[in-house]
Amino acid sequence: MIRGRLLWPLIALAGLILLNVVFTHSFLALRIQDGHLYGSLVDILRNGAPTMLIAVGMTLVIATRGIDLSVGAVAAIAGAIGCTWIADGGDVPTAVLLALAVCVLLGLWNGFLVSVLGIQPIIATLVLMTAGRGGAMLLTEGQIVTVDSSAYRQIGAGFLVLPIAILISLAVLGGVALLTRRTALGMLIEAVGANPEASKLAGVRSRTITWTVYVFAAFCAGVAGLMISSNVSAADANNAGLWIEMDAILAVVIGGTSLAGGRYSLGGTLVGALVIQTLTTTVYTIGVPTNVTLLFKAVVVITVCLLQSPRTARIIGGRRRTPATAPRSQKVAAG
Protein backbone atom coordinates (compact mmCIF):
# COMPACT_ATOMS: atom_id res chain seq x y z
CA MET A 1 0.00 0.00 0.00
CA ILE A 2 2.74 2.43 0.97
CA ARG A 3 4.05 3.18 -2.43
CA GLY A 4 4.99 6.11 -4.59
CA ARG A 5 4.76 9.53 -3.10
CA LEU A 6 4.11 8.50 0.47
CA LEU A 7 7.31 6.47 0.54
CA TRP A 8 9.71 9.41 0.71
CA PRO A 9 7.96 11.39 3.44
CA LEU A 10 7.91 8.21 5.54
CA ILE A 11 11.62 7.69 4.92
CA ALA A 12 12.23 11.34 5.87
CA LEU A 13 10.26 10.87 9.08
CA ALA A 14 12.18 7.73 9.97
CA GLY A 15 15.46 9.44 9.06
CA LEU A 16 14.73 12.42 11.32
CA ILE A 17 13.84 10.17 14.25
CA LEU A 18 17.02 8.16 13.66
CA LEU A 19 19.07 11.38 13.63
CA ASN A 20 17.58 12.27 17.00
CA VAL A 21 18.37 8.87 18.45
CA VAL A 22 21.99 9.25 17.35
CA PHE A 23 22.29 12.60 19.16
CA THR A 24 20.05 11.80 22.13
CA HIS A 25 20.01 8.09 22.91
CA SER A 26 16.95 8.38 25.09
CA PHE A 27 14.90 10.03 22.33
CA LEU A 28 12.49 7.12 21.95
CA ALA A 29 12.20 6.59 25.69
CA LEU A 30 8.72 6.88 27.13
CA ARG A 31 7.74 6.91 30.77
CA ILE A 32 4.66 7.60 32.83
CA GLN A 33 4.78 11.01 34.50
CA ASP A 34 1.84 12.09 36.68
CA GLY A 35 -0.42 9.54 35.01
CA HIS A 36 0.37 10.31 31.40
CA LEU A 37 2.94 9.37 28.83
CA TYR A 38 6.03 11.53 28.79
CA GLY A 39 8.74 11.68 26.16
CA SER A 40 9.93 13.35 22.98
CA LEU A 41 7.56 11.36 20.77
CA VAL A 42 4.62 12.52 22.89
CA ASP A 43 5.80 16.13 22.49
CA ILE A 44 5.89 15.70 18.72
CA LEU A 45 2.32 14.42 18.71
CA ARG A 46 1.03 17.17 20.99
CA ASN A 47 2.82 20.08 19.34
CA GLY A 48 1.99 18.75 15.90
CA ALA A 49 -1.73 18.38 16.64
CA PRO A 50 -2.80 21.93 15.62
CA THR A 51 -0.85 21.80 12.36
CA MET A 52 -2.26 18.36 11.61
CA LEU A 53 -5.83 19.48 12.24
CA ILE A 54 -5.49 22.57 10.06
CA ALA A 55 -3.80 20.46 7.39
CA VAL A 56 -6.80 18.11 7.31
CA GLY A 57 -9.10 21.06 6.57
CA MET A 58 -6.57 22.40 4.09
CA THR A 59 -6.39 19.03 2.30
CA LEU A 60 -10.07 19.20 1.38
CA VAL A 61 -9.80 22.85 0.32
CA ILE A 62 -6.79 22.07 -1.86
CA ALA A 63 -8.60 19.03 -3.30
CA THR A 64 -11.20 21.45 -4.71
CA ARG A 65 -8.35 23.38 -6.34
CA GLY A 66 -8.59 26.11 -3.69
CA ILE A 67 -6.37 27.34 -0.90
CA ASP A 68 -7.11 28.93 2.47
CA LEU A 69 -4.54 31.44 3.68
CA SER A 70 -6.72 32.70 6.50
CA VAL A 71 -6.46 29.67 8.81
CA GLY A 72 -3.70 31.20 10.95
CA ALA A 73 -5.73 34.36 11.52
CA VAL A 74 -8.85 32.30 12.25
CA ALA A 75 -6.87 30.28 14.81
CA ALA A 76 -5.75 33.52 16.45
CA ILE A 77 -9.36 34.75 16.58
CA ALA A 78 -10.55 31.49 18.16
CA GLY A 79 -7.89 31.72 20.85
CA ALA A 80 -8.64 35.39 21.45
CA ILE A 81 -12.38 34.78 21.83
CA GLY A 82 -11.89 31.74 24.05
CA CYS A 83 -9.44 33.45 26.38
CA THR A 84 -11.16 36.84 26.63
CA TRP A 85 -14.47 35.11 27.36
CA ILE A 86 -12.91 33.06 30.18
CA ALA A 87 -10.86 36.01 31.46
CA ASP A 88 -14.09 38.04 31.72
CA GLY A 89 -15.53 35.37 33.99
CA GLY A 90 -17.32 33.22 31.40
CA ASP A 91 -17.43 29.43 31.56
CA VAL A 92 -15.33 27.14 29.39
CA PRO A 93 -18.02 25.33 27.30
CA THR A 94 -19.57 28.65 26.25
CA ALA A 95 -16.13 30.02 25.41
CA VAL A 96 -15.39 27.04 23.18
CA LEU A 97 -18.79 27.10 21.48
CA LEU A 98 -18.66 30.85 20.94
CA ALA A 99 -15.15 30.67 19.44
CA LEU A 100 -16.10 27.81 17.12
CA ALA A 101 -19.36 29.52 16.08
CA VAL A 102 -17.44 32.64 15.07
CA CYS A 103 -14.95 30.50 13.15
CA VAL A 104 -17.77 28.80 11.25
CA LEU A 105 -19.13 32.25 10.36
CA LEU A 106 -15.68 33.24 9.09
CA GLY A 107 -15.58 30.04 7.05
CA LEU A 108 -19.00 30.89 5.60
CA TRP A 109 -17.58 34.27 4.59
CA ASN A 110 -14.55 32.68 2.88
CA GLY A 111 -16.74 30.13 1.14
CA PHE A 112 -19.17 32.84 0.04
CA LEU A 113 -16.36 34.87 -1.54
CA VAL A 114 -14.98 31.85 -3.36
CA SER A 115 -18.04 29.84 -4.38
CA VAL A 116 -20.71 32.53 -4.86
CA LEU A 117 -18.75 35.60 -5.89
CA GLY A 118 -16.15 33.54 -7.72
CA ILE A 119 -13.14 35.38 -6.30
CA GLN A 120 -9.82 33.53 -6.60
CA PRO A 121 -9.32 31.57 -3.36
CA ILE A 122 -5.85 32.98 -2.72
CA ILE A 123 -7.22 36.55 -2.86
CA ALA A 124 -10.49 35.82 -1.09
CA THR A 125 -8.78 34.25 1.91
CA LEU A 126 -6.00 36.83 1.92
CA VAL A 127 -8.66 39.33 3.03
CA LEU A 128 -9.28 37.44 6.24
CA MET A 129 -5.60 36.57 6.69
CA THR A 130 -4.72 40.24 7.11
CA ALA A 131 -7.95 41.57 8.60
CA GLY A 132 -8.50 38.61 10.93
CA ARG A 133 -5.35 39.10 12.94
CA GLY A 134 -6.30 42.76 13.34
CA GLY A 135 -9.67 41.63 14.67
CA ALA A 136 -7.98 39.31 17.15
CA MET A 137 -5.76 42.19 18.27
CA LEU A 138 -8.84 44.34 18.82
CA LEU A 139 -10.44 41.63 20.95
CA THR A 140 -7.39 41.29 23.18
CA GLU A 141 -6.65 45.05 23.08
CA GLY A 142 -3.12 44.31 21.92
CA GLN A 143 -2.31 42.48 25.16
CA ILE A 144 -1.56 38.82 25.81
CA VAL A 145 -4.64 37.57 27.67
CA THR A 146 -3.68 35.01 30.30
CA VAL A 147 -6.31 32.67 31.72
CA ASP A 148 -6.18 30.36 34.70
CA SER A 149 -8.64 27.59 33.97
CA SER A 150 -7.75 23.94 34.36
CA ALA A 151 -10.72 22.89 32.20
CA TYR A 152 -9.57 25.10 29.32
CA ARG A 153 -6.01 23.83 29.70
CA GLN A 154 -7.17 20.29 28.93
CA ILE A 155 -7.81 21.04 25.23
CA GLY A 156 -4.21 21.75 24.36
CA ALA A 157 -2.14 20.57 27.32
CA GLY A 158 -4.32 17.89 28.89
CA PHE A 159 -3.80 14.13 28.76
CA LEU A 160 -5.89 10.99 28.61
CA VAL A 161 -2.72 8.90 28.71
CA LEU A 162 -2.05 10.44 25.28
CA PRO A 163 -2.33 14.22 24.75
CA ILE A 164 -5.97 15.23 24.29
CA ALA A 165 -4.98 17.53 21.42
CA ILE A 166 -3.68 14.69 19.26
CA LEU A 167 -6.71 12.57 20.10
CA ILE A 168 -8.94 15.38 18.81
CA SER A 169 -6.87 15.75 15.64
CA LEU A 170 -6.81 12.02 14.94
CA ALA A 171 -10.53 11.74 15.60
CA VAL A 172 -11.24 14.50 13.06
CA LEU A 173 -8.85 12.91 10.59
CA GLY A 174 -10.50 9.52 11.05
CA GLY A 175 -13.96 11.03 10.76
CA VAL A 176 -13.11 12.82 7.55
CA ALA A 177 -11.49 9.70 6.12
CA LEU A 178 -14.60 7.64 6.85
CA LEU A 179 -16.98 10.28 5.58
CA THR A 180 -15.16 10.98 2.33
CA ARG A 181 -13.72 7.59 1.50
CA ARG A 182 -16.63 5.37 2.52
CA THR A 183 -19.17 7.56 0.74
CA ALA A 184 -19.14 9.29 -2.61
CA LEU A 185 -18.33 12.63 -0.97
CA GLY A 186 -14.58 12.27 -1.50
CA MET A 187 -15.07 11.55 -5.15
CA LEU A 188 -17.40 14.54 -5.53
CA ILE A 189 -14.82 16.81 -3.86
CA GLU A 190 -12.15 15.52 -6.23
CA ALA A 191 -14.49 15.96 -9.18
CA VAL A 192 -15.03 19.62 -8.27
CA GLY A 193 -11.27 20.09 -8.06
CA ALA A 194 -10.54 18.27 -11.28
CA ASN A 195 -13.05 20.20 -13.34
CA PRO A 196 -15.70 22.39 -11.66
CA GLU A 197 -17.61 23.01 -14.92
CA ALA A 198 -17.75 19.39 -15.99
CA SER A 199 -18.80 18.20 -12.54
CA LYS A 200 -21.51 20.87 -12.41
CA LEU A 201 -22.84 19.70 -15.77
CA ALA A 202 -22.73 16.16 -14.47
CA GLY A 203 -25.04 17.19 -11.65
CA VAL A 204 -22.55 17.69 -8.79
CA ARG A 205 -23.46 20.59 -6.55
CA SER A 206 -20.02 22.12 -6.87
CA ARG A 207 -20.98 25.42 -5.23
CA THR A 208 -22.26 23.75 -2.06
CA ILE A 209 -19.24 21.46 -1.88
CA THR A 210 -16.76 24.30 -2.31
CA TRP A 211 -18.58 26.38 0.28
CA THR A 212 -18.63 23.48 2.74
CA VAL A 213 -14.90 22.75 2.56
CA TYR A 214 -14.07 26.36 3.45
CA VAL A 215 -16.42 26.22 6.43
CA PHE A 216 -14.79 22.94 7.50
CA ALA A 217 -11.29 24.40 7.10
CA ALA A 218 -12.24 27.38 9.29
CA PHE A 219 -13.77 25.03 11.88
CA CYS A 220 -10.54 23.00 12.00
CA ALA A 221 -8.56 26.23 12.32
CA GLY A 222 -10.83 27.27 15.19
CA VAL A 223 -10.25 24.05 17.13
CA ALA A 224 -6.51 24.32 16.43
CA GLY A 225 -6.56 27.92 17.68
CA LEU A 226 -8.16 26.77 20.93
CA MET A 227 -5.45 24.10 21.27
CA ILE A 228 -2.68 26.64 20.67
CA SER A 229 -3.99 29.14 23.22
CA SER A 230 -4.92 26.43 25.71
CA ASN A 231 -1.44 24.88 25.48
CA VAL A 232 0.06 28.00 27.08
CA SER A 233 -3.12 29.23 28.81
CA ALA A 234 -2.86 32.53 26.96
CA ALA A 235 -4.06 34.20 23.79
CA ASP A 236 -1.32 36.01 21.88
CA ALA A 237 -3.13 37.64 18.96
CA ASN A 238 0.14 38.69 17.38
CA ASN A 239 1.85 35.32 17.29
CA ALA A 240 -0.70 32.53 17.76
CA GLY A 241 -0.93 30.51 14.57
CA LEU A 242 1.49 32.79 12.77
CA TRP A 243 2.59 31.13 9.48
CA ILE A 244 0.68 27.97 10.40
CA GLU A 245 -1.10 28.22 7.04
CA MET A 246 2.27 27.72 5.38
CA ASP A 247 3.07 24.70 7.56
CA ALA A 248 -0.35 23.23 6.80
CA ILE A 249 0.02 23.74 3.05
CA LEU A 250 3.50 22.22 3.26
CA ALA A 251 2.16 19.21 5.18
CA VAL A 252 -0.49 18.69 2.51
CA VAL A 253 2.06 18.97 -0.30
CA ILE A 254 4.60 16.69 1.39
CA GLY A 255 1.77 14.21 1.79
CA GLY A 256 1.42 14.05 -1.97
CA THR A 257 -1.75 16.07 -2.52
CA SER A 258 -1.41 18.16 -5.67
CA LEU A 259 -2.05 21.91 -5.44
CA ALA A 260 -3.72 21.58 -8.84
CA GLY A 261 -6.63 19.89 -7.07
CA GLY A 262 -8.60 16.87 -8.08
CA ARG A 263 -7.11 14.32 -5.72
CA TYR A 264 -5.99 14.14 -2.15
CA SER A 265 -4.42 11.83 0.41
CA LEU A 266 -5.36 12.16 4.08
CA GLY A 267 -2.77 9.58 5.11
CA GLY A 268 -0.17 11.68 3.31
CA THR A 269 -1.29 14.79 5.19
CA LEU A 270 -0.89 12.93 8.50
CA VAL A 271 2.67 11.96 7.61
CA GLY A 272 3.41 15.44 6.25
CA ALA A 273 2.30 17.13 9.48
CA LEU A 274 4.40 14.69 11.53
CA VAL A 275 7.46 15.36 9.35
CA ILE A 276 7.13 19.12 9.90
CA GLN A 277 6.76 18.85 13.68
CA THR A 278 9.55 16.27 13.99
CA LEU A 279 11.77 18.64 12.02
CA THR A 280 11.13 21.45 14.53
CA THR A 281 11.73 19.17 17.52
CA THR A 282 14.90 17.83 15.88
CA VAL A 283 16.32 21.33 15.58
CA TYR A 284 15.90 21.83 19.34
CA THR A 285 17.00 18.34 20.38
CA ILE A 286 20.19 18.02 18.36
CA GLY A 287 20.99 21.70 18.95
CA VAL A 288 21.14 23.14 15.44
CA PRO A 289 22.60 26.66 15.90
CA THR A 290 19.79 29.24 15.61
CA ASN A 291 21.37 31.09 12.72
CA VAL A 292 21.27 28.02 10.47
CA THR A 293 17.92 26.64 11.69
CA LEU A 294 15.96 27.91 8.71
CA LEU A 295 18.58 26.60 6.30
CA PHE A 296 18.48 23.17 7.95
CA LYS A 297 14.69 23.04 7.65
CA ALA A 298 14.80 24.25 4.05
CA VAL A 299 17.30 21.56 3.05
CA VAL A 300 15.17 18.78 4.54
CA VAL A 301 11.96 20.07 2.93
CA ILE A 302 13.57 20.60 -0.47
CA THR A 303 15.09 17.12 -0.36
CA VAL A 304 11.74 15.50 0.42
CA CYS A 305 9.97 17.49 -2.31
CA LEU A 306 12.68 16.71 -4.86
CA LEU A 307 12.59 13.00 -4.09
CA GLN A 308 8.82 13.06 -4.45
CA SER A 309 8.76 14.62 -7.89
CA PRO A 310 7.97 11.97 -10.51
CA ARG A 311 10.93 12.93 -12.64
CA THR A 312 13.50 12.52 -9.86
CA ALA A 313 11.88 9.28 -8.84
CA ARG A 314 12.28 8.06 -12.39
CA ILE A 315 15.95 9.03 -12.48
CA ILE A 316 16.67 7.42 -9.12
CA GLY A 317 14.50 4.35 -9.51
CA GLY A 318 15.29 3.87 -13.16
CA ARG A 319 11.70 2.80 -13.67
CA ARG A 320 8.91 4.50 -15.48
CA ARG A 321 6.22 5.72 -13.11
CA THR A 322 2.60 6.50 -13.77
CA PRO A 323 2.27 9.77 -15.70
CA ALA A 324 1.53 12.73 -13.42
CA THR A 325 -1.86 13.28 -15.01
CA ALA A 326 -3.48 10.03 -13.97
CA PRO A 327 -2.27 8.73 -10.62
CA ARG A 328 -5.82 8.58 -9.21
CA SER A 329 -6.23 4.89 -8.58
CA GLN A 330 -2.91 4.75 -6.79
CA LYS A 331 -3.74 7.73 -4.57
CA VAL A 332 -7.03 6.29 -3.44
CA ALA A 333 -5.20 3.19 -2.40
CA ALA A 334 -2.66 5.17 -0.43
CA GLY A 335 -5.21 7.46 1.20
Partner 1 sequence: MFKKIAMIGCALALATLTACGSGDGGGSKGSGGDKLVMGFAQVGAESGWRTANTKSVRESAKSAGIELKFSDAQQKQENQIKAIRSYIQQKVDVIAFSPVVETGWDAVLLEAKRAKIPVILTDRAVDSSDTSLYKTFLGSDFVEEGRKAGKWLTENTDGPAKVAEIQGTTGAAPAIDRQKGFKEAIAGKSDIRIVASQSGDFTRAGGKQVMEALLKSHPDINVVYAHNDDMGLGAIEAIKAAGKKPGTDIKIITVDAVKAGMQALADGEINYIVECNPLLGDQLMDLAKKVVKGEKVPERVVTEETAFTSEQAAKVLKDRKY
The contact set with partner 1 (CB under 8 A) reads 23-24, 26-27, 33-34, 38-40, 43, 47, 141-144, 146, 157, 228, 231-234, 236, 238-240, 280-281, 283-287, 289-291, 293
CB of 233 to partner 1, least distance (A): 8
Instruction: Determine the 3-state secondary structure of 146 from DSSP.
Output: strand
CB of 139 to partner 1, least distance (A): 14
User: Are the C-beta atoms of 198 and 127 separated by less than 8 Å?
Assistant: no
CB of 241 to partner 1, least distance (A): 9
Say how far apart CA 114 and CA 154 lie, in whole Å.
35
CB of 26 to partner 1, least distance (A): 7
Of 74 and 191, the one with the shorter C-beta distance to partner 1 is 74
The string of DSSP codes covering 26-88 is TTT--EEETTEEESHHHHHHHHHHHHHHHHHHHHHHHHTT---TTHHHHHHHHHHHHHHHHHT
Say how far apart CA 167 and CA 189 lie, in whole Å.
26
CB of 91 to partner 1, least distance (A): 23
User: Are the C-beta atoms of 284 and 270 separated by less than 8 Å?
Assistant: no
Nearest alpha-carbon partner for 56 in 280, 303, 244: 244
CB of 148 to partner 1, least distance (A): 10
Of 190 and 236, the one with the shorter C-beta distance to partner 1 is 236
Of 159 and 211, the one with the shorter C-beta distance to partner 1 is 159
Nearest alpha-carbon partner for 125 in 136, 111, 139, 137: 111
Strand partners, 162: 160
Of 240 and 248, the one with the shorter C-beta distance to partner 1 is 240
Of 127 and 144, the one with the shorter C-beta distance to partner 1 is 144
CB of 157 to partner 1, least distance (A): 7
Say how far apart CA 70 and CA 61 lie, in whole Å.
12
CB of 323 to partner 1, least distance (A): 42
Write the Ramachandran bin of 194: left for phi over 0, alpha for psi from -120 to 50, otherwise beta: alpha
Say how far apart CA 31 and CA 34 lie, in whole Å.
10
Say how far apart CA 177 and CA 47 lie, in whole Å.
22
Q: How many CB atoms lie within 10 A of CB 122?
A: 13
Strand partners, 37: 32
